[in-house]
Structure 1
Amino acid sequence: MTDTQSGLLSSQHDWSSAAARKRVKRRYAADRRLQFYGIGAIALSILLLGVLFSSLMFTGYVAFYTTKVALEVPFAADQFDKDKLGDANYRGIAKTAFLTYFPEVTSRAEQRNLVKIMSSGAPYIIRDFVVANPDRIGSTVTIQVPVSDPFDQLYKGVIPRYIDALGQDRIALFEKLQRRNVIKIEGGKAFAATDIFVNPAEIPDGDITKADLHGMVREGFAAYYPKQTSRAYQEILAEDASTQVLRAKIEAEPGIVGKTVTLMLPLAPAYDELARTGASKIVNPRFGDKAEFVWFDKLISAGAISTPFTWELFTNADSRYPELAGLAGALSGSFFALLVCFLLSFPIGIATAVYLEEFAPKNKWTDLVEVNINNLAAVPSVVFGLLGLALFINTFGLPRSAPLVGGMVLALMTLPTIIVATRAALKGVPPSIREAALGVGASKHQVMLHHVIPLSLPGILTGTIIGLAQALGETAPLLLIGMNAFIPSIENMGLTQPAMALPTQIFSWADSPERGFVSRTSAAIMVLLGFLVIMNILAVYLRRKFERKW
């Protein structure tokens, strides 16, 4: 560019002009907006993660402590056969120890309801203690056993003792009567002042026993709801009692037949309580009656109730009772499945990546293989589950629900991740390393084994651990091969034995109707996330430990 051209350019672009300064401000404003969008995206991500974790913590923390009752259990020697310690009447032993808190409860019906406070697993806990400690026979031992799930949730404040007896729609219908001053309270009871036409046509031959008194009561009460299509308002009256009021009125005053009379009709119990107290409550259906609350409060006041940490969450197998259910079976199943997955996918994935990256000829066939490997990384996991079901179980006859099959399916799913990560790590090794090794006489496989692979190990390990972490959280393929079996014992866990995994255990608990499994599900998710976080931290640690800077 000549001086003349430079002068022309400067004259065409006056950088100090107002327009130029305005353009510069717009560029700076765009930069600030971009930074703001980035910060906003990060903040939104953190917020969503915070909502997720806080939700899990809020619902799941109660699963990490269990409400237990302390039983003073006398182990009389005549109750046990030392050759068959597991065959004693442990149900009776547990019941007798529990009833010592309630000497005033003597009827068998009340005792049956009372024992429901204690978990049905209490006899088995006592049995396991005796089998493990036969030397304690002949002494009295304090053993803590869980209470049943409803009382566990009650003590933790998860569920209330009483719930609303009426929904908002029913309350709205009742409030309509209150606004019209229909509801009257007399003698501690609530009534609805209702005009009823005593229709002679509804009393055949004047015989009151044949009269349709229910119809007269309903017709008179329906006048308060002329536009109501639902018949829900009929629940407000205690219909049988209202009919008796009308019958007594007709019998006392036969002359009212053919006339309209105003009667004070009694209300149904729930509406009667609502009218008198402003609220209508019933005992939570998860409990029997109010007496159970009195008994439970007595245990609390006696200091028999405690809430220790729930080690059973990690040591117990699955159970139909939430207070007894644990993750031991799922943890062992996930361990065996991941072990098989690692032993298969790690060497095969590295060997495949090394061959494709260093030894395979560059032609259309290797290009096809590379494209398909990349595509496999995007295949939905349920497809691998279908493949495992069709190939490993139906064709090869491997056992259903076994960690061996689960690990093989997860290995198929993890292979593309390990191959792609390993190839990227191999590409990251500088060519000068290879050239220097070849220059001193090393063969190609020596270059790979002694130089390239050790230097690419951080990336390989990172990809492997991330792939295993992804496999740990997979649910769909494990469900398809049956790894959601109910496993109440962990005595025979192995590669070919039926098992569950952490994700399928979460799936199973989430589908259970008992309230206690809600917190158990959140706690299991927290345990799973904990393992995933540990695996990711391990990946970062190994990468930094073995990483070389060039």
Structure 2
Amino acid sequence: MTDRLLKMAETKRQRVKAGVARRRAKEKRFRFYGIASISMSFAFLIVLMTTIVSDGYTAFATTEIELKVDLSREALGLDSGEIDKKALMQASFRKVLRKALIEEVPVEGRKQKRQLYTFISNGAEYDLRDKVIADPSLIGKTISYWALAGDNFNQFNKGNIKASTPEDGRQFKNNQVEWYNELVKEGKVRTVFNKNFFTNGDSRDAELAGIWGATVGSFYTLLVTLALSFPIGVSAAIYLEEFAPRNRVTELIEININNLAAVPSIVFGLLGLAVFLNVADLPRSAPVVGGLVLTLMTLPTIIISSRAAIKAVPPSVRDAALGVGASKMQMVLHHVLPLAMPGMLTGTIIGMAQALGETAPLLMIGMVAFIVDVPGGPLDAATALPVQIYLWAENPEKGFVENTSGAIMVLLAFLAFMNACAVIMRKRLERRW
């Protein structure tokens, strides 16, 4: 009998041991799968960021060519009369730049001249014109002027166009490479910080295109979004959490708010197109319309986060305020709201960061238009930074490829900054009860 009991106990012990071994093996596999998933995601992120940075860091630099420019009256086509701004606006600055370039690289024939003229950007003549208008004393002199290089010259200097590529497969031909080498030997080529990328609006020329117009458009759009979504979202959260009766109507409202947070953003764009443009007849491609659409999209996020912040305030705070004679409105405004505000602000910043990166709803309301001028207000035609990236991504030119990646880097920096602000604000202002 004793041997039988011992045998049964040993069998049970072996079963328990085998079960523990299986559980530990499952736990190890689960850990392995988790670590493998995280590692794979991290690897994809590194590959993505490496690709963006490697393609986009050159957008922050540009190329200039030094030329000896004759600014005499004869060269500029000015008469002997008084020189004013109107006369300088009509002067032949392109002609003097091309003449200076031919003096540096003598060529013959119309075809070679056309190829040589591409060394200088179309914006160089306007930059020189503005410089002379700002300092009319330059007229009559021969100055040393660093002219902005054209896109192909700029890309070749940066290494984005390779000389090893067969001539048929590149836009920078062999004779242009020889002219480029001559200018480099003479010290006439330099690489400088590309301020145009941060100060200009969009342009057909890649070397002149910048993100400033889109950045200002995004600023006005987010300004309208913040001005509308924050007070409306916070007010809705306070009402639903503190004042609304618990019935089927409020339950239906809460369900719809949660559902709206999961609605695709393009649906809000269609709503904005139908209501704000077709019915309200607001100006197309204006930040005010974009702000209204993004307000609808970010409201669920702000309401949900604000309600969570209000729920986190202990009931004892409410009971204490009511116990000393405060009305319910005073209790909410003077006690609950200040304590919940850090969480509300955190949710608002996250909602604004989400709105900053949205493209689809803005495409639907016409903010995909080609806008050169920097908008002066929310009612002016504008585009946004994500939409600008979308527009540049459709252009196959080398210059726009690097501009696309450079703009993505700037947008990611803005998003990281806003999310970092949300994290820091939550850490510094949060209260532990």
Superposition TM-score, scaled by structure 2 size: 0.92
Relative to structure 1, is the Cα distance of residues 83 and 325 closer, same or farther in structure 2, using a 3 angstrom cutoff? closer
Relative to structure 1, is the Cα distance of residues 77 and 450 closer, same or farther in structure 2, using a 3 angstrom cutoff? farther
Q: Distance in 2 between matches of 1:521 and 1:511?
A: 9
1:55-454 alignment, distance < 5 Å:
55-76=51-72, 79=76, 81-84=83-86, 85-102=88-105, 104-161=106-163, 163=165, 281-287=166-172, 289-454=173-338
AA in 2 matched with 1:42: I
Deviations along 1:140-188, whole A, 9 cap, x unmatched? 443323222122222222222364xxxxxxxxxxxxxxxxxxxxxxxxx
- My pick for the range that moved more, 146-155 or 131-140, is 131-140
Q: Distance in 2 between matches of 1:71 and 1:35?
A: 65
AA in 1 matched with 2:408: I
AA in 1 matched with 2:97: A
AA in 1 matched with 2:410: V
CA contact 2:161–2:170 (8 Å) conserved in 1: no
Relative to structure 1, is the Cα distance of residues 448 and 140 closer, same or farther in structure 2, using a 3 angstrom cutoff? farther
State the shift of 1:14 in Å. Answer: 7.0
CA contact 2:218–2:385 (8 Å) conserved in 1: yes
Relative to structure 1, is the Cα distance of residues 320 and 83 closer, same or farther in structure 2, using a 3 angstrom cutoff? closer
How many residues end up aligned between the 2 structures? 421
- My pick for the range that moved more, 110-119 or 307-316, is 110-119
Partner of 1:37: 33
Partner of 1:518: 401
Unaligned runs of 5+ in 1: 1-9, 164-280
Partner of 1:547: 430
State the shift of 1:108 in Å. Answer: 4.5
Considering only aligned residues, what root-mean-square deviation do their CA atoms show, in Å?
2.1
Counterpart of 1:307 in 2: which secondary structure? strand
Deviations along 1:237-288, whole A, 9 cap, x unmatched? xxxxxxxxxxxxxxxxxxxxxxxxxxxxxxxxxxxxxxxxxxxx4444513x
CA contact 1:130–1:136 (8 Å) conserved in 2: yes
Counterpart of 1:524 in 2: which secondary structure? helix
State the shift of 1:320 in Å. Answer: 0.7
Bigger radius of gyration: 1
Superposition TM-score, scaled by structure 1 size: 0.73
AA in 2 matched with 1:121: G
Q: Distance in 1 between matches of 2:97 and 2:34?
A: 62
Partner of 2:367: 483
CA contact 1:67–1:306 (8 Å) conserved in 2: yes
Q: Distance in 1 between matches of 2:191 and 2:142?
A: 22
Q: Distance in 2 between matches of 1:101 and 1:401?
A: 46
CA contact 2:67–2:104 (8 Å) conserved in 1: no
CA contact 1:14–1:20 (8 Å) conserved in 2: no
Q: Distance in 2 between matches of 1:57 and 1:149?
A: 20
CA contact 1:162–1:283 (8 Å) conserved in 2: no
Q: Distance in 1 between matches of 2:19 and 2:300?
A: 49
Deviations along 1:87-130, whole A, 9 cap, x unmatched? 2111112212222212x435444323211222222111212222
CA contact 2:121–2:151 (8 Å) conserved in 1: yes
CA contact 2:350–2:419 (8 Å) conserved in 1: yes
Relative to structure 1, is the Cα distance of residues 451 and 15 closer, same or farther in structure 2, using a 3 angstrom cutoff? farther
- My pick for the range that moved more, 92-101 or 328-337, is 92-101
Deviations along 1:390-447, whole A, 9 cap, x unmatched? 1111111110000111111111111011001111111111111111111111111111
Q: Which has the higher helix share?
A: 2
Q: Distance in 2 between matches of 1:134 and 1:541?
A: 52
Partner of 2:3: none
CA contact 1:474–1:503 (8 Å) conserved in 2: yes
State the shift of 1:75 in Å. Answer: 2.9
Q: Distance in 2 between matches of 1:354 and 1:15?
A: 63
CA contact 1:162–1:284 (8 Å) conserved in 2: no
Deviations along 1:205-224, whole A, 9 cap, x unmatched? xxxxxxxxxxxxxxxxxxxx
Unaligned runs of 5+ in 2: 1-5
State the shift of 1:510 in Å. Answer: 0.6
AA in 1 matched with 2:382: A
Relative to structure 1, is the Cα distance of residues 140 and 544 closer, same or farther in structure 2, using a 3 angstrom cutoff? farther
Counterpart of 1:112 in 2: which secondary structure? helix
Counterpart of 1:67 in 2: which secondary structure? strand
AA in 2 matched with 1:72: K
AA in 2 matched with 1:527: V
